[in-house]
Structure 1
């Protein structure tokens, strides 16, 4: 079952802890054990009812994880009923959500009616959800590895608002995870980040049941995992044996028993859980040294005691678990992890079976469980009788934990609609982002105070240098900038607890995990923030799933992918993102923007800020470019009223940049450009006019996402305005369309359905290669000549 840590290693272990309860545990052990049994029953019943009792119209298995829940029952009972304080927050292993529902029900947070609605529409979610469950949940989980790391980033966010805005100190940030979840790279990226090693409020509890969906994993052992955590600066506690086994270890032959269990493979140990006592007596002896001493020890145990002993792991010993939590708390200067050895399916007929992950109890097994746990099949949702010790414990815990309350929420500062930037000459949207942020402290002070930027070691290359020089780097502690007096150092790296930029290592998953939690402080601590993460756009795909999950969990943030697309010509195909424009359209809870000009960026960026940190808010994704574009092409009106109309069109998704009728030509085609491709589109319109006397309207889309939403709204599939469709594509003159972007062409293929017109979509459909911008544009067919040819084809 895996060896114990070597005695010389600096690892704290409760494997040989005394058989006494930790000091300060208020709950009577028998009462706590009674609550544990009821939690097991309720968690199992929630899944049983959803699959075996509730009518199933579709015939598809509802699902649920009775075995995965059972292995967590002791861990969660000890945590909730003997350890948690009001300000603590817990991320629960996804497959243990029925246990969370059961505990919440006993604490009065969940109405009885929901206990029959697991995985039903409008009922209890399959996995804990901050935004979908009918009662407050601390962290959403479900995407493996992301729920585990969320408390880490929550701890950073809590520290930030406490230092910046004098917010009250938060409690412990706890993650309950399965051992197989540690296979996820997201876990180790977070564990190893240097910013994490000083977070003493972080606690992970690992359910070490050594099983996955398909099998018993042969090589999971706490000592190997402990070494990895220790190397990252974490404190480790191991809870391996229960009190019965520890008492047997003290008897003659006990060392042989310990050695036999320690040296036993995980699969062999699991098999011992599935055999009768007579066979267990023989198999437990093994073939190694100490067999004779072990035989004498085993012969002194009756069948019941022997069967209990082989199942007596520390992760099911309530007293040892509480001791472990308190010992972990003592390491206040660094994060802690508790490894709790458990049996998957503990207490159920399916315990220890290698294929029990998604197994469901039969009706007969369920009835047997009711008998074993003293539950009432006629009233499976019964709470404890009023006045009983268990009911009093539930009431006391509920009162203690409910002291947290929602708290006061501060309203975010009003964001100006514009700051009066002047955009001249040739510049890129990435350059203008840097200038815009650097100007924010002067032009929008209260708003700038709430901005926090985050970068995975690309701050300078995403043009955050000016902003950083003004606001500084946020750190857990003040540090000396040894290059402050170096005249050749342009970027001033001042690390203090008052900075507004957070620099992480090269791990995009950490970046989006942190901005999700920074974007949740408005609802968690009442302090709204405007978190902005900058990332190279080619790596948005790598960060997409965790960022999407953060949005799903209620985190409101701005993700800026820059530089993007084939405008990264010399960088080669690996750094030329082509599918991110589609991601922007398809991501729920997000508005996607790709402005072509500095003025468009100013308006859209300020608008995106105004949507953060509030109920009903929304995240944003910006795709920016390093390609310098002549700002005069934007032709921003000087007249105040017309300028405001342009701003509203920009925020609605796009505007008419060139109208052929105003040039004395009858328009016969509409050329649509996005982002850095707009100059090519304008040039193609000029060529059509100059060489063929062909009138071409030019539309500049600032957000294909919003234009697509407008189309859906007009079709009756969503709510929202759609007047922008008539402004961009007038109904009185439906024209063929040529669309151009330096992403995949199918992104804009919906444009033809706005007026049911022919559409030719130009874009990038293959991995690129290094080269000059003009060469790559020609290679991919997004150069002016190809645009002209596509226009001639589409108009016949």
Structure 2
């Protein structure tokens, strides 16, 4: 169903498919009183504007740094949000609010009794309301953090998929309603939007509703030309229902008059810039500006006969400000596919800055605030007051607040993750291959944990060694799909898609992958069902996925991202597929532990440790950097004795261990390696020994945790108090350091501060080229010869 201006949606085609209860049966139990809703809209406009005003004009600021806020961007969203929160929504619905409308969300929550007035003057202050909606940091109900433009808008898409996955796997999962995104039209410039819209898994999500605040302005300008036709076509091509609310009922009444159709065409065909100029013009100028040079007699007669005030009001009467039209539209959309509503609005609606091309960060003066208070029926001296008790508005606020209140989430008892799986890692094997085997082992050794694991991949499942896991657990699909290759005896990967699968495959879009990981990793806090989401991605593309993954962590999503294969170790693939900066990225990412184990047993221990901390209160995400290079597992020199093996495990999950068995004080140089480069490090130590130089060998499983250990020294709380760094690099046993990894060398440069040692840092600083492994290591100076030379140099030989 598509309609352009349903001034009377009853005339629109009836939606097909089953209907979800909407309107009075699902939101407010009472029929709406439009006059009361409009009164609430005026108060929300006032509160949202005052929240920004208090943060700027009302708060001392001697730093010279502006506080900021977005009064105009908030104003255009007021009617859309009032129609939802004060009538349409249920407690089961989840809503993502565009970043610059956070004051509207807080104003709404205040009227609903969900936010104390003491917080309203605290926007962007320490301990106060965040600059953009924050699920973890704000004091009222926020369903999705936003702020990363375009990424928060897509979060409800992935939350809907996450909930569908839960419902298909766990009977005790609470129900959910609609997943709604309130989006600024400028956000549609972001690629993340279209990667999500176009994914094949999205077209069947009828619980998705996007409402676009189509105010045709961005930060710096009026969006040029007329964009709606292109945008509508893109959504429709992806299988979405598109609804365009261009005009409200008052404007529609003018269009029904003689000359009205020509008036409508003229307003709709003019560029956005020309329309915006009408909003700033004196009402007496409007007839001439609208008529231009080509108006016909009927249009000129219509314009001449209209009072200036009525014409000025009509051109501002857009669909996104018509509460009745919005409410009728919500009930008229289909259920069997996602819907996007383009709600035309005026940026700054109801403010003196209305429609101005530079109103994005403009702030009202005190005189303008006083005038707005009078227009909204309130008082600048008492900005946060609620409606009079017993009034229709107060009763509606109380009723809606009660109906939207949610019960605290009850968390299911998490399955206990074992310390080890019992596999003996003896033959040469890569960490990438080990990763796939460990997941397959998990289904046998720890089935309760495996039941909570869900893997995801952007069309690289088989090439990142998820094949064994997929063969055991299947591919998840909202509906069972026939496997046409089930009888093919030559097929190794069993791609069976059903509702009980545990792997979710997406198209080749890393942004979608990590966005889904974030929402799968938030199900424990949304619906009380723990998942352990693990996503695999080619390591060179971690940087492409970093912002949305970081957004997911910031929003409370806990997940494990596996980047593989990595580094110039992937020598034949050349520079395009050789990652350099990802070790540093992992070390620097908040809310995440970065791991790069060299040996299979280390990976087993560290992966289980990471899984233990996912999907639980106080948990954390993890990033694993793996390679396809098989390593001789005997190089790890694993202890055979049980207590010593457990000691090694604890060291591995704390960040690293010493391979050499001599006392640290006996060594003349310490070689520190990470990941696939360890054979070269060990061989260099052997060659040094032949030269009469005793070299210690430290294998780091997580430079991230070792750095944290060093930072924790002397602190009363936090970290391990420096224990790990002191075990690896005892202060009384100083020796020069040579660090080496298949990544940028500055990742390990911090180790010079552990005890003030001289240091040489080897790593990759240039783009690579196709070669074999030995040539790649030699080109970048991380081969055995380079390590040997660095060790001799740093010891003065």
TM-score bin, normalised by smaller chain: over 0.9
Distance, in Å, in 2 between the alignment partners of 1:18 and 1:423 is: 66
Partner of 1:750: 750
Counterpart of 1:469 in 2: which secondary structure?
A: helix
Distance, in Å, in 2 between the alignment partners of 1:94 and 1:233 is: 27
Counterpart of 1:427 in 2: which secondary structure?
A: coil
What are the superposed Cα offsets for residues 258-281 of structure 1, whole Å, 9 maximum, x if unpaired? 111111111000000111111112
Counterpart of 2:85 in 1: which secondary structure?
A: helix
Partner of 1:4: none
Q: Deviation at 1:231?
A: 0.6
Distance, in Å, in 1 between the alignment partners of 2:763 and 2:661 is: 23
Equivalent residue for 1:307, pick from 301, 308, 312: 312
Distance, in Å, in 2 between the alignment partners of 1:364 and 1:128 is: 29
Partner of 2:487: 485
Distance, in Å, in 2 between the alignment partners of 1:726 and 1:464 is: 38
Partner of 2:27: none
Partner of 1:444: 446
Residue 13 (str. 1) matches residue 4 (str. 2):
yes
Native 8 Å contact 1:14 1:320 kept in 2: no
Partner of 1:226: 232
Aligned residues: 780
Native 8 Å contact 1:469 1:493 kept in 2: yes
Q: Deviation at 1:20?
A: 11
TM-score (normalizing by structure 2): 0.96
More deviation in 515-524 or 160-169?
Answer: 160-169
Native 8 Å contact 2:78 2:104 kept in 1: yes
Q: Deviation at 1:666?
A: 3.3
Native 8 Å contact 1:105 1:111 kept in 2: yes
Q: Deviation at 1:727?
A: 1.4
Q: Deviation at 1:224?
A: 1.9
Partner of 2:729: 729
Q: Deviation at 1:67?
A: 0.5
Q: Deviation at 1:13?
A: 3.1
Partner of 1:654: 656
What are the superposed Cα offsets for residues 707-764 of structure 1, whole Å, 9 maximum, x if unpaired? 0000000053971212111211122211110000000000000001001111100000
Residue 320 (str. 1) matches residue 325 (str. 2):
yes
Residue 211 (str. 1) matches residue 211 (str. 2):
no
Q: Deviation at 1:622?
A: 0.3
Counterpart of 1:629 in 2: which secondary structure?
A: coil
Distance, in Å, in 2 between the alignment partners of 1:793 and 1:69 is: 62
What are the superposed Cα offsets for residues 63-122 of structure 1, whole Å, 9 maximum, x if unpaired? 000000001001111111121011000000000000001000100111111000000011
Partner of 2:396: 393
Partner of 1:739: 739
TM-score (normalizing by structure 1): 0.96
Counterpart of 1:714 in 2: which secondary structure?
A: coil
Native 8 Å contact 2:369 2:380 kept in 1: no
Unpaired runs of 5+ residues, structure 2, are 13-21, 25-29
Counterpart of 1:697 in 2: which secondary structure?
A: strand
Distance, in Å, in 2 between the alignment partners of 1:715 and 1:670 is: 25
Native 8 Å contact 2:226 2:269 kept in 1: no
Partner of 2:548: 546
What are the superposed Cα offsets for residues 125-162 of structure 1, whole Å, 9 maximum, x if unpaired? 00000111112210000001111110000000000000
Distance, in Å, in 2 between the alignment partners of 1:112 and 1:340 is: 30
Q: What's the RMSD between the two structures over aligned residues?
A: 1.5
Q: Deviation at 1:16?
A: 4.1
Partner of 1:141: 146
Partner of 1:707: 706
Q: Deviation at 1:597?
A: 0.4
Unpaired runs of 5+ residues, structure 1, are 1-9
Q: Deviation at 1:23?
A: 7.5
Counterpart of 1:603 in 2: which secondary structure?
A: helix
Counterpart of 1:626 in 2: which secondary structure?
A: coil
Counterpart of 2:451 in 1: which secondary structure?
A: helix
Q: 1:769 to 1:487 in 2, by over 3 A?
A: same
5 Å matches for 1:519-558? 519-558=521-560
Partner of 1:339: 342
Distance, in Å, in 1 between the alignment partners of 2:400 and 2:390 is: 15
Q: Deviation at 1:364?
A: 1.6
Counterpart of 2:491 in 1: which secondary structure?
A: coil
What are the superposed Cα offsets for residues 649-679 of structure 1, whole Å, 9 maximum, x if unpaired? 00110000113459xx931000000000111
What are the superposed Cα offsets for residues 231-287 of structure 1, whole Å, 9 maximum, x if unpaired? 100011111101111011111111111111111111000000111111112111122
Q: 1:276 to 1:589 in 2, by over 3 A?
A: same
Partner of 2:71: 66
Partner of 1:157: 162
Distance, in Å, in 1 between the alignment partners of 2:315 and 2:483 is: 57
Q: 1:433 to 1:18 in 2, by over 3 A?
A: closer
Partner of 2:476: 474
Equivalent residue for 1:176, pick from 174, 182, 187: 182
Partner of 1:432: 434
Partner of 1:571: 573
Native 8 Å contact 1:146 1:546 kept in 2: yes
Distance, in Å, in 1 between the alignment partners of 2:61 and 2:390 is: 38
Q: Deviation at 1:377?
A: 1.3
What are the superposed Cα offsets for residues 139-194 of structure 1, whole Å, 9 maximum, x if unpaired? 00000111111000000000000010021321100000011100000000000000
Q: Deviation at 1:491?
A: 0.2
Q: Deviation at 1:219?
A: 2.7
Distance, in Å, in 2 between the alignment partners of 1:40 and 1:136 is: 19
Residue 37 (str. 1) matches residue 28 (str. 2):
no
Partner of 2:356: 353
Residue 286 (str. 1) matches residue 292 (str. 2):
yes
Native 8 Å contact 1:418 1:602 kept in 2: yes
Q: Deviation at 1:595?
A: 0.3
Distance, in Å, in 1 between the alignment partners of 2:318 and 2:5 is: 11
Distance, in Å, in 1 between the alignment partners of 2:49 and 2:226 is: 27
What are the superposed Cα offsets for residues 386-409 of structure 1, whole Å, 9 maximum, x if unpaired? 10000001011111111x322321
Native 8 Å contact 1:712 1:718 kept in 2: no
Residue 696 (str. 1) matches residue 702 (str. 2):
no
Partner of 2:17: none
Q: Deviation at 1:289?
A: 4.2
Q: Deviation at 1:776?
A: 0.9
Native 8 Å contact 2:93 2:178 kept in 1: yes
Counterpart of 1:566 in 2: which secondary structure?
A: coil
Partner of 1:367: 370
Q: Deviation at 1:30?
A: 0.5
What are the superposed Cα offsets for residues 512-533 of structure 1, whole Å, 9 maximum, x if unpaired? 0001000000000110000000
What are the superposed Cα offsets for residues 418-443 of structure 1, whole Å, 9 maximum, x if unpaired? 11111012100000000000111100
Native 8 Å contact 1:534 1:562 kept in 2: yes
Native 8 Å contact 2:210 2:339 kept in 1: yes
Partner of 2:100: 95
Counterpart of 1:532 in 2: which secondary structure?
A: strand
Distance, in Å, in 2 between the alignment partners of 1:280 and 1:18 is: 30
Distance, in Å, in 1 between the alignment partners of 2:486 and 2:464 is: 22
Distance, in Å, in 2 between the alignment partners of 1:575 and 1:221 is: 37
What are the superposed Cα offsets for residues 447-482 of structure 1, whole Å, 9 maximum, x if unpaired? 000000000000000000000000000001101111
Residue 765 (str. 1) matches residue 765 (str. 2):
yes
Partner of 2:420: 418
Distance, in Å, in 1 between the alignment partners of 2:395 and 2:302 is: 41
Q: Deviation at 1:19?
A: 10
Distance, in Å, in 2 between the alignment partners of 1:376 and 1:517 is: 42
